[in-house]
Amino acid sequence: MELFTLELTVANRCGVLNRITGLYAKCKHNIETLSVHGSGDPALSVMRISARGDHVIQRQMMRQLRKIFDVKSVVLLNNSTY
């Protein structure tokens, strides 16, 4: 299992973090690291979530996260990206 990082742009609203971390718990995936910071737009925040999994798990998490209404974009980062 390799470490992968997803960068999410999300609406800056109450409960968004809970819905996203709840999805990881529901899928039984452990979050290795989590960071959240503001973006240039006060209505949006940027999250970086690192977890372990193969390519199937990476694609599954990206598809499931995109279904959450407050998630505006999901990008898979590789080690050279950050």
pLDDT in tens, 14-67: 999 999 999 999 999 999 999 999 999 999 999 999 999 999 999 999 999 999
* pLDDT at residue 1 greater than cutoff 70: yes
If you average pLDDT over residues 5-12, what whole number do you get?
Answer: 97
Please, are residues 59 and 4 in contact by the beta-carbon 8 Å criterion?
A: no
The span from the CA of 53 to the CA of 61, in Å, is 10
